[in-house]
Chain A
Amino acid sequence: MANNTEFEPLIIGFTCNWCSYRAADLAGMSRIKYPPNVRLIRLMCSGRLDPSFVLKALKGGADAVLITGCHPGECHYLEQNYKTLKRYILLKRMLEQFGVEPNRVKLVWASAAEGVQLADEITKMVEEVRDLGPLNWPAVVSPNGDHPIAETEPVVEEVQA
Chain B
Amino acid sequence: MTENGKPKLAMYWAAACGGCEISILNIHENILVVDEVFDVAFFPCIADFKTKDVIGYPDGYIDVCLFNGAIRNSENEEMAKLLRQKSKIMVAYGSCAYEGCIPALSNLTSKDATFNAVYKENPSIDNPGGVIPQTEFKVPEGILEIPVFYNTVKSLDQVVEVDYYLPGCPPEPPQIWAVLQVVVAALLEGAPLPPKGSIVGATNVAVCEECDLKKDEKKITRFYRPYEITPEPGICLLEQGLVCVGPATRGGCGALCPQVGMGCRGCYGPLDGVEDQGAKMMSAIASVIDVGDYEGNEEKYEEKVQAAIDTIPDPAGTFYRFSMAHSLLKRARVDNGNGKGETE
Closest Cβ of chain A to B101, distance in Å, is: 14
**Bound: A91/B278 CA distance, A:** 10
In the complex where A91-B282, A141-B329 touch, is A97 in contact with B315 (Cβ < 8 A)?
yes
Q: Contacting A98 at CB < 8 Å: which of B112, B305, B332? A: B332
**Bound: A160/B328 CA distance, A:** 41
B152, A96: Cβ atoms under 8 Å? no
Which candidate, B13-21, B184-192, B202-210, B283-291, is the interface stretch facing chain A? B283-291
A55, B329: Cβ atoms under 8 Å? yes
Which candidate, B50-58, B129-137, B224-232, B233-241, is the interface stretch facing chain A? B129-137
A99, B343: Cβ atoms under 8 Å? yes
A52, B154: Cβ atoms under 8 Å? no
Q: Contacting B286 at CB < 8 Å: which of A90, A145, A149? A: A90
B282, A145: Cβ atoms under 8 Å? no
Closest A-chain residue to B310, C-beta based?
A93
A99, B341: Cβ atoms under 8 Å? yes
A6 at the interface (CB under 8 A from B): no
A2 at the interface (CB under 8 A from B): no
Write out, one digit per residue, whether chain B residues 140-165 have a CB within 8 A of any chain A CB (1) or not (0). Answer: 00000000111111110011000000
In the complex where A72-B298, A89-B306, A98-B316 touch, is A150 in contact with B111 (Cβ < 8 A)?
yes
Q: Is the interface of A mostly helix, strand, loop or mixed?
A: helix
**Bound: A86/B219 CA distance, A:** 13
**Bound: A86/B298 CA distance, A:** 12
Closest Cβ of chain B to A111, distance in Å, is: 14
A85, B302: Cβ atoms under 8 Å? yes
* From B133, B329, B332, residue with most partner A Cβ within 10 Å: B329
Closest A-chain residue to B108, C-beta based?
A97
Closest B-chain residue to A150, C-beta based?
B151
B319 at the interface (CB under 8 A from A): yes
Closest A-chain residue to B336, C-beta based?
A99
Closest B-chain residue to A91, C-beta based?
B282
Of residues 113 through 136 on chain B, the ones whose CB sits less than 8 Å from some CB of chain A are 129-136
Q: Cβ of A39: which chain B residues have Cβ within 8 Å of it?
A: none
A86, B342: Cβ atoms under 8 Å? no
A55, B152: Cβ atoms under 8 Å? no
B286, A83: Cβ atoms under 8 Å? yes
A155 at the interface (CB under 8 A from B): yes
Of residues 63 through 87 on chain A, the ones whose CB sits less than 8 Å from some CB of chain B are 72-73, 82-83, 85-87
Q: Contacting B148 at CB < 8 Å: which of A150, A155, A160? A: A155
Closest Cβ of chain A to B294, distance in Å, is: 5
**Bound: A147/B279 CA distance, A:** 21
In the complex where A97-B332, A147-B334, A155-B111 touch, is A89 in contact with B302 (Cβ < 8 A)?
yes
B contacts, CB < 8 Å to A: 107-108, 110-112, 129-136, 148-155, 158-159, 274-276, 278-280, 282-283, 285-287, 289, 294, 296, 298, 301-302, 305-306, 309, 312, 314-317, 319, 325, 327-337, 341-343
